[in-house]
Amino acid sequence: MSMAEKSLVYTNENCIGCNKCISACPVLTANYAIEQNGENKIVVNGDACIACGACFDACEHEARSYQDDTERFFEDLKRGEKISLLLAPAFLANYPKEYASVLGGLKDLGINHIISVSFGADITTWGYIKYITEHNFTGGISQPCPAVVGYIEKYMPELLPKLMPVHSPLMCGAIYIKKYMKLSDKLAFISPCIAKKMEIEDPNTYGYVSYNVTFDHLMDYVRKHNIKGKNASDEIEYGLGSIYPMPGGLKENVYWFCGEEMFIRQVEGEKHMYEFLEDYKERVLKGRKLPFMVDALNCANGCVYGTAIEPEKAKVDDNLYALQEIKERSKRNGRNHPFSKGLSPKQRLHRLNSKFAKLDINDFIRKYTDHSKEITIKKPSREELDKIYGSMEKRTEHERTINCSACGYETCEKMARAIYNGCNTKNNCLHYMKNMIEKEKETAEELSREMHEKNAIIEQKNRKISEVVESVANDFGLLDKSIHEMAAGNTNNAEESTNINLLMMKVVDFSDELKKALEGIETLTRSLQSNNEEITNVADETNLLSLNASIEAARAGSAGRGFAIIAENIKKLADSTSPFRSQPTRHSSICQSRNILLSFLYNNQVENTEISVHNASSNRLALPLSSSPWSVTGMPPIQQQAHSAMGQNTLLHGKTLLVIPTADPDHITLPLFTKSISGYFRGHALLIEGAELALVIHLDELLTAGGGEGDVQLHLDQRATNF
């Protein structure tokens, strides 16, 4: 059976995953944990389940249900199917008042014969004693209980030879009806037992019984459909077979016919029964002393309180009292009856054999099938068990024997074996989850600590940036004033003023960019991710603005004082943002042309010109734009020395230069250079132009506040034409 199919016993939607069913179940693998909509549920593996019903009693949430044939029985009856009933003796004990009217109602619906299984039980008793005496078969385990038979067939094949090879009362009754009464009717068992469905569907019972109609479902249907009729009763007389459904009922029958000298081991209970079988198996395998026979029932209070009776009926002793009355009625006073009270056991047995003299014991012999190969419960090796314990974070002996049962299993070892068999997961171990939660808590605390530290650092940086921005904003007023002065006082500087205005607009644009960058930084603060690129951009652009501001301030002369101040502050802003970079500064590569582009776009762009450098001593050196293929890289200090590629002039400068050559003039993405760039630079910049680019800018020095080497002028040489 696939796990997706609804099994005989199944979990309904009430399950809350409390694991109680696991603790009650005698089969390790009959329950397995699944996750459904994020919740733990315990469902039934129908192949492994023996329908013992223990989980019904254990579950406080009524989350276990079972299937029987009640619906099909009534549908077939309505369709006119010819059906006779085999009635469990427990039905009378459970419904002493309704018994007759319900049977009458069923008769009205078309039921043919009603035969009590008590009669079948009398045949079973006869068959057991006959087989035991004829085959000297001692130590046999009774087999009226299909849960017990199912358990032995699936999990204890060693005990199969010990199962009494005679059919149960139900099947003895069915065989009698079919073979001796020659009835061809379909047979329905009115049953107190869920597991009887397994028995009637077992190929070893030949399909003689077609329906397992349980008390609970039958009476539910009867009440819903108001089925009752003129009183009716079962048809064949029976004897002490009527007490088979009570604990020790079979034992009492055997004592009745064989005397009480022999030891009959009576054992019942969904848990105790299977623990007993473990021990019994050991006795059998070791050849130790065995009882005359074992009277074994799955249900602690016998079939009269079977797994399929109505729950309210299970709460009171009424059934037992009713059964006691049935038992007394079954004993007769006449001397010719096997159930006569005044006879010795030997005389009773003699009369029993006479009663069933026409029966052939071979008709009632039962075979069993070893299902242990189909339903295996794997046993992990010591190493495999250790591995599972490891995955459950159970490293010490103490951790492996907590045995709190929260997972449903009595011991941690059982849980580990269930995990090994794929029936459960470590997540259902309370202590594993507790460990995990503690670890999560520690990680969360560590993260929280780190977050606080990072927040503090970022807040500090934000404060610094805000201070610089505020300073720049303050200087905008002064800059504005200077621009107005320049515009009013010097018409010759109209062109420069225009440039300054343009630059001013750029400064405003830059201010916007800066604002956005700061917003970005705030976002980064929240997400705790470092994104230095924005800051780097700000720094770079600020540097270049500083350069332009310096240039334009120099052009404006005294009128550009305010502009010089803002240039100074923008420079400071660049300096203050640069520490936030995590990337190396970019002055080593002129390929980052957008920075340079920003510097010179405002100026008149002149091609084919010469750039010259004015050193500290005003020694003007023209640097022609040579076509020599330079390959100088890095930052060599260039002293006043001739360079063959430089043509007529040599750079006189003691500072480090960056020379980035390119073989392709198209790679130069910025047009060089302003025609009037000979103004005062706050730092000193050095430019060398060669034929295949050739821009040399020592940006760091350019951006360094003034002083140092003094005036350095950049000017254009109209002779150079190699751009």
Candidate list 9, 93, 209, 479; residue touching ligand SF4; CB under 6 A: 9
Candidate list 3, 35, 61, 334; residue touching ligand SF4; CB under 6 A: 61
> d(Cα 324, Cα 484) in Å, to the nearest integer?
120
Cβ distance 89 to 326 under 8 Å? yes
> d(Cα 680, Cα 564) in Å, to the nearest integer?
11
Identity of the residue numbered 393: E
Closest distance of CB 32 from ligand SF4, Å: 10
> d(Cα 120, Cα 113) in Å, to the nearest integer?
15
Only segment of 21-29, 370-378, 498-506, 643-651 that touches ligand SF4 (CB under 6 A)? 21-29
Only segment of 405-413, 468-476, 604-612, 668-676 that touches ligand SF4 (CB under 6 A)? 405-413
Q: How far is CA 537 from CA 5, 73, 548, 577, 586, in A?
A: 65, 84, 16, 9, 10
Only segment of 49-57, 88-96, 235-243, 500-508 that touches ligand SF4 (CB under 6 A)? 49-57
Residue 42: beta bridge partners? Answer: 33
Q: Does 18 bind ligand SF4 (CB under 6 A)?
A: yes
Identity of the residue numbered 618: S
Using the CB atoms, write b or e for 403-430: b if 16+ within 10 Å: eebbbbbeebbbbbbbbbbebbbbebbe
Q: Does 404 bind ligand SF4 (CB under 6 A)?
A: yes
Only segment of 53-61, 256-264, 382-390, 605-613 that touches ligand SF4 (CB under 6 A)? 53-61
> d(Cα 96, Cα 437) in Å, to the nearest integer?
57
- Among 497, 495, 473, residue whose Cα is nearest residue 485: 497
Q: Does 49 bind ligand SF4 (CB under 6 A)?
A: yes
Candidate list 25, 187, 611, 623; residue touching ligand SF4; CB under 6 A: 25
> d(Cα 359, Cα 347) in Å, to the nearest integer?
19
Count of residues for the chain? 723
Q: Does 547 bind ligand SF4 (CB under 6 A)?
A: no
Cβ distance 258 to 129 under 8 Å? yes
Closest distance of CB 458 from ligand SF4, Å: 44
> d(Cα 131, Cα 124) in Å, to the nearest integer?
10
Only segment of 227-235, 311-319, 424-432, 695-703 that touches ligand SF4 (CB under 6 A)? 424-432
Residue 659: beta bridge partners? Answer: 696
Q: Does 133 bind ligand SF4 (CB under 6 A)?
A: no
Candidate list 101, 324, 405, 628; residue touching ligand SF4; CB under 6 A: 405
Q: How far is CA 113 from CA 86, 435, 697, in A?
A: 8, 64, 114
Candidate list 36, 403, 582, 589; residue touching ligand SF4; CB under 6 A: 403
Cβ distance 80 to 202 under 8 Å? no
Q: How many CA atoms lie within 13 A of 194 on its CB side?
A: 24
Closest distance of CB 428 from ligand SF4, Å: 7
Q: Does 300 bind ligand SF4 (CB under 6 A)?
A: no
Q: Does 415 bind ligand SF4 (CB under 6 A)?
A: yes
Q: Does 17 bind ligand SF4 (CB under 6 A)?
A: yes
Q: Does 214 bind ligand SF4 (CB under 6 A)?
A: no
Q: Which of 143, 577 has the CB closer to ligand SF4?
A: 143
Cβ distance 103 to 114 under 8 Å? yes
Site for ligand SF4 in 425-444 (CB under 6 A): 429-431
Candidate list 28, 32, 55, 172; residue touching ligand SF4; CB under 6 A: 55
Candidate list 28, 52, 187, 303; residue touching ligand SF4; CB under 6 A: 52
Helix (H/G/I), strand (E/B), else coil: 211: strand
Q: Which of 21, 469 has the CB closer to ligand SF4?
A: 21
Closest distance of CB 51 from ligand SF4, Å: 5
Closest distance of CB 140 from ligand SF4, Å: 24
> d(Cα 172, Cα 446) in Å, to the nearest integer?
73
The packing angle between helices 272-286 and 146-155, to 10°, is 50
Closest distance of CB 19 from ligand SF4, Å: 5
Cβ distance 100 to 232 under 8 Å? yes
Q: Does 412 bind ligand SF4 (CB under 6 A)?
A: yes
Identity of the residue numbered 43: V
Closest distance of CB 216 from ligand SF4, Å: 15
CB atoms within 10 A of CB 468: 19
Q: Does 483 bind ligand SF4 (CB under 6 A)?
A: no
> d(Cα 361, Cα 123) in Å, to the nearest integer?
9
- Among 679, 689, 673, residue whose Cα is nearest residue 712: 679
Only segment of 54-62, 370-378, 564-572, 646-654 that touches ligand SF4 (CB under 6 A)? 54-62
**Token pair listed for 370:** 């070893």
Q: Does 21 bind ligand SF4 (CB under 6 A)?
A: yes
Q: Does 284 bind ligand SF4 (CB under 6 A)?
A: no
Q: Does 44 bind ligand SF4 (CB under 6 A)?
A: yes
Q: Does 308 bind ligand SF4 (CB under 6 A)?
A: no
Q: Does 192 bind ligand SF4 (CB under 6 A)?
A: no
Q: Which of 424, 649 has the CB closer to ligand SF4?
A: 424
Only segment of 46-54, 336-344, 372-380, 542-550 that touches ligand SF4 (CB under 6 A)? 46-54
**Token pair listed for 457:** 């650092």
Candidate list 42, 103, 156, 172; residue touching ligand SF4; CB under 6 A: 42
Q: Does 402 bind ligand SF4 (CB under 6 A)?
A: yes
- Among 478, 673, 678, 654, residue whose Cα is nearest residue 563: 478
In the complex, which residues of this chain contact ligand SF4 (CB under 6 A)?
A: 9, 11, 15-21, 24-25, 27, 30-31, 42, 44, 49-55, 58-59, 61, 63-64, 402-407, 409, 412, 415, 429-431
